[in-house]
Chain A
């Protein structure tokens, strides 16, 4: 059974600081997604990582994928308050092609 683990689950950081969120998954997958969810809102797609070594960047967020280590990272550079949200990674797996398994999410709070 595919398992997706994120850490940390809670992250409080100050504006201007850098930090990394980690996403480990237990079985082979060639595709990993990052989503953002604001409180009480829907999920918004941030990145799709398709191959080993893939790196994608959007603003202060950068995601990377190491399929050999079964690890993806979401790096936050010079955090700002607007980045406060819950971030989920998700991996295709679980026996059928469209079965997306989500991590529990990392709740990020950026304080001034």
Chain B
């Protein structure tokens, strides 16, 4: 059974560039979550979707961040323009329903120079 698949695993880019992170949730899961993990702030929820609809984006740090879920099997998190303070590990997670345990992907380690 394939788990949550994220790509790329690592991304190094220069400040000002557009970054797109991708996520494929587990088939049949209705809820999808994007998190950011840093040493300073820990694990923070950025946005989550239920049945492909964004429900709560209050964790998105600013307008440079956007997320979409065009269908049940794909989501993107975009940062434009990127800044060095966006450097972090970004996790995508999915769950069968809201409230059920979330299954995390391996994360994307993002470095903005």
A33 at the interface (CB under 8 A from B): yes
CB distance from B14 to the nearest CB of A (A): 24
A45 / chain B contacts, CB cutoff of 8 Å = 101-103
Which applies to chain B's interface (DSSP): helix, strand, loop or mixed? Answer: strand
Residue pairs across A and B with CB atoms within 8 Å: the count is: 56
Segment at the A interface, from B17-25, B50-58, B66-74, B79-87: B50-58
B42 with A98: CB separation less than 8 A: no
Chain B interface size range: 20 to 34
Q: Are B58 and A42 in contact (CB under 8 A)?
A: no
> Is the Cβ of B104 less than 8 Å from the Cβ of A98?
no
Task: State the CA gap A42–B91 with chains docked (Å).
Answer: 8
Chain B nearest CB from A50 CB (Å) reads 9
Residues of B close to A95: CB separation below 8 A: 56, 58
Question: B102 touching A96 by the CB < 8 A rule?
Answer: no
For residue A87, CB closer than 8 A to chain B, the reply is no
A100 to B50 CA separation, bound complex (whole angstroms): 14
Contacting residues, chain B, for A105 (C-beta < 8 A): 42-43
Closest 9 CB pairs of A and B: A45-B101, A96-B56, A102-B43, A43-B104, A42-B104, A98-B98, A98-B48, A104-B42, A42-B106
19 new A-B contacts, CB < 8 A, other than A98-B99, A102-B44, are A33-B102, A42-B91, A42-B104, A43-B102, A43-B104, A45-B101, A45-B103, A48-B100, A48-B101, A94-B45, A95-B56, A96-B56, A98-B55, A98-B56, A99-B56, A99-B59, A100-B45, A102-B42, A102-B43
B residues apposed to A, CB below 8 Å: 31, 33, 42-45, 48, 50, 55-56, 58-59, 91, 93, 98-107
